[in-house]
């Protein structure tokens, strides 16, 4: 995980502070999506393994995880592109330019949060179903 060393100074303007906080948040999202991507690879590998087939008959769930993995990669790239574009913030000379970056950040926040919520719900469903199947196996043994 890449740590970002962004310092907020007392002489920073409110806009500069907002941009620095947004940059830290954006780095956090990107790092989290990279982790989610690795987790999704593991889950898809599990679904494709022979041992999982006796536990899970749910190919649709596997396909849904693959779709989420695709979405995760797309959103990760979009956030990285936005982070790369933020280098031009220093060139902002008026409030309109600053507001544009702040609005884009909020759009990214909503996209990230929606994706993570969808992923967590699907993962919760998977683990609940897996736990139920394990419990059924234990009871029948």
Output the six-digit token pair for 117: 């919520």
- pLDDT of 64 reads 86
The structure tokens 């889950």 sit at: 43
DSSP-assigned letters across all residues of 44-62: HHHHHSHHHHHH---HHHH
User: Cα dist. 40→36, 43, 46, 48, 54 in Å?
Assistant: 6, 5, 10, 12, 20
52-90 burial string, b = 16+ CB within 10 Å, else e?
beebbebeebbeebeebbebbeebbeebeebbeebeebe
The larger pLDDT score, comparing residue 47 to residue 67, is at 67
The larger pLDDT score, comparing residue 6 to residue 100, is at 100
The reported pTM is 0.84
Instruction: Report whether 6 contacts 23 (CB < 8 A).
Output: yes
- pLDDT of 58 reads 59
Q: How confident is the model at residue 3 (pLDDT cuts 50, 70, 90)?
A: very low
Q: How do the domains of the chain map onto residue ranges?
A: 14-140
- pLDDT of 102 reads 93
Residue 88 has pLDDT above 50, yes or no: yes
- pLDDT of 43 reads 86
Interval 38-52 mean pLDDT: 80
Rounded Cα distance between 113 and 126, Å, is: 20
Interval 51-79 mean pLDDT: 81
Supply the Cα-derived Rg of the chain in whole angstroms.
Answer: 20
pLDDT in tens, 7-28: 888 887 888 888 889 999 999 9
Interval 77-90 mean pLDDT: 92
Rounded Cα distance between 39 and 12, Å, is: 38
Interval 76-104 mean pLDDT: 92
């Amino acid at each position: 995980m890449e740590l970002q060393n962004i310092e907020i100074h007392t002489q920073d303007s409110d806009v500069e502070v907002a941009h620095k906080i947004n940059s830290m948040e954006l780095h956090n999202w990107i790092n989290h999506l990279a982790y989610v991507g690795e987790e999704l690879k593991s889950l898809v590998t599990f679904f494709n393994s022979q041992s999982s087939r006796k536990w899970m008959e749910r190919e649709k769930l596997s396909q849904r995880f693959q779709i989420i993995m695709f979405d995760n990669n797309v959103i990760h790239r979009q956030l990285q592109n936005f982070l790369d574009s933020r280098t031009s913030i220093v060139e902002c000379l008026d409030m309109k330019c600053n507001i544009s970056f702040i609005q884009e950040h909020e759009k990214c926040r909503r996209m990230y949060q929606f994706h993570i919520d969808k992923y967590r719900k699907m993962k919760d469903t998977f683990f609940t179903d897996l736990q139920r199947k394990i419990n059924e196996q234990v009871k029948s043994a």
